[in-house]
Amino acid sequence: MFSQGGLSLEQAPPLSVVLRFFLTASIFGILLGLFLLSNNFNLLTLSNYSTQIITVHILSLGIMASFMLGALFQMLPVIAGVVIKAPLKKVTIVHGLFLLGILTQLTAFSYQAFPLLYLLSALYLGSGLLYAITLMLKELFKVKIHSSSSQGIIFALLAFILTIFLGSYLLLVEGGFLSGSIFSQVKELHYSLALFGWVALLIVSVSFQVIEMFYVTPKYPSIISNYLTFTIFTLLIIKSLALLFDYALPFLMTAISILFLLYATITLDRLNQRKRPTSDATVWFWRLGMGLLTVSMTITLLHTFLYVEERLLHISYLSFIGFGLSIVLAMVYKIVPFLTWFHLSNQGYMKAPMMHDVIHPKKAKIHFYIHIAMLLVWIIIPQLTVLGSLLIITSFGWLFYNLVFAIKKYTYTQKYTERIEW
């Protein structure tokens, strides 16, 4: 058994398991830019419901869910020692249903005269995503002693399950299959659990281990790593139940905002104390992400006490999206070079490319500059619709190029480099 930092070749999923989701995310990112460009829309002031819902779901499913599913299939063996047997076959099913579901859903949103599409999208997406979550939770529940990261991932996956069921309800209402008496409440819950329960909790959970592991920093305070994810998850569940029964409990969102602000502050402090203070674009992505989370949660916190203009609320939403995208890009630029080198070296290719040969750090830095320019246009000058759309296309196009380059390095090494038989 080959071992590298606690990860063995038998545990690690095939490279294609992870990269198919990352490639999917980058392709949907390019499609998002093209969609906004062709319709002359910007992310701050989308003109109609159809445009809004298409954009939101390309972002949340096509991009964010793709990134996070790929990262999870890779990180679970490292964080929790979880091994999914026959991963290639199972992930192919997940990925196929997931893609079919997204495309059917986007078609339903575009051509609302075909209600059957809403039902089909709920079936495809629900079955694909729930199958993936079941694969993960089944193995996670077997773990006897959980780390703060693996425990938090369970809460994030549970929130994702609720998000999926709520989303399926909304689709069935849109298609006319259900009456929709609680449509507005479920819609708010769907977005809240997706953003704070799935995206944010998963990032928080993973960071408890990868910040220390990747950047050699002090550990998070035990009270934070042990209780933060559980507390936020509990508050979200109480908030959900209260909303369903028409109770307004604004102090819950106040508490959630404060907890995320505390997390962002501690994470930035940990990054400032890293023992290898070299120039690294992935650190910049993490810092940017924490800064954007701080902006988003500060506006959200103010909104619970004061009147906040709609434009400022939109900035809060876009800052949160920027937070999620910044962190997943930081993860991608760490995961892909390592996995490529890891698999090749453990397969016996002694001239396997080093990590900086797979995706050079300068390429990650270029992406950071493109990414921050994109966010600045999104948030500060959204009226520059053409520029904003072009920057989205450029950002995800650059990522797609880097991923394809890594794949070519991998296949070239396997084809032309001498292998030592163990």
Burial of 374: CB neighbours in 10 Å, binned 0-12, 13-18, 19+? buried
First to last CA, the chain: 11
Q: In the prediction, which pLDDT does 277 show?
A: 73
User: In whole angstroms, how far apart are CA 397 and each of 23, 30, 46, 381, 414?
Assistant: 10, 6, 23, 22, 26
User: What pLDDT, on a 0 to 100 scale, did the predictor assign at position 128?
Assistant: 97
Q: What percent of the chain has pLDDT over 70?
A: 95
The sign of the torsion formed by the CA atoms of 19, 276, 280, 29 equals positive
Q: What is the pLDDT of residue 420?
A: 76
pLDDT at residue 109 greater than cutoff 90:
yes
Average pLDDT over residues 217-223: 95
pLDDT confidence tier of residue 309, bands split at 50, 70 and 90:
confident
Least confident of 14-18, 99-103, 293-297: 14-18
**Between 49-57 and 15-39, two packed helices, what is the crossing angle to 10 degrees?**
160
Q: Are 107 and 124 in contact (CB under 8 A)?
A: no
Assign 206 a pLDDT band (cuts: 50, 70, 90).
very high
Which pLDDT band holds residue 45 (cuts at 50, 70, 90)? low
Asked if pLDDT for residue 5 goes beyond 50, the answer is no
Whole-angstrom distance, CA of residue 207 vs CA of residue 216: 12
Segments making up each domain of the chain, as ranges: 3-416
Q: Sign (positive/negative) of CA torsion 25, 29, 35, 41?
A: positive
Give the pLDDT score at 2.
32
Tens of pLDDT, residue by residue over 134-183, are: 999 999 999 988 999 999 999 999 999 999 999 999 999 999 999 988 99
Q: For residue 65, is pLDDT > 70?
A: yes
Contact partners, residue 9, CB within 8 Å, separation at least 6 = 1, 2, 342, 343, 346, 347
Structure tokens at 36: 């906004």
Number of H helices, E strands in the chain: 15, 2
Q: Residues near 358 by Cβ (< 8 Å), separated by ≥ 6?
A: 336, 337, 340, 341, 405, 406, 409, 410
**76-90, 156-170, 227-241, 310-324, range with the lowest pLDDT:** 76-90
Least confident segment among 66-75, 190-199, 286-295, 349-358 = 349-358
In the predicted structure, residue 130 carries a pLDDT above the cut 70: yes
Kindly state the average pLDDT of the residues 241-249: 82
pLDDT band (50, 70, 90) for residue 105: very high
pLDDT for 44 equals 59
The domain 3-416 having CATH identifier 2.60.120.200: the answer here is no
pLDDT of 43 strictly over 90: no
Which tens digit of pLDDT belongs to each residue from 261-287?
999 999 999 999 998 777 789 999 999
pLDDT in tens, 175-202: 999 998 899 999 999 999 999 999 999 9
The reported pTM is 0.94
Query: Average model confidence (pLDDT) for the chain?
Result: 91
Alpha-carbon separation of residue 288 from 135, 210, 213, 359 (angstroms): 33, 17, 19, 21
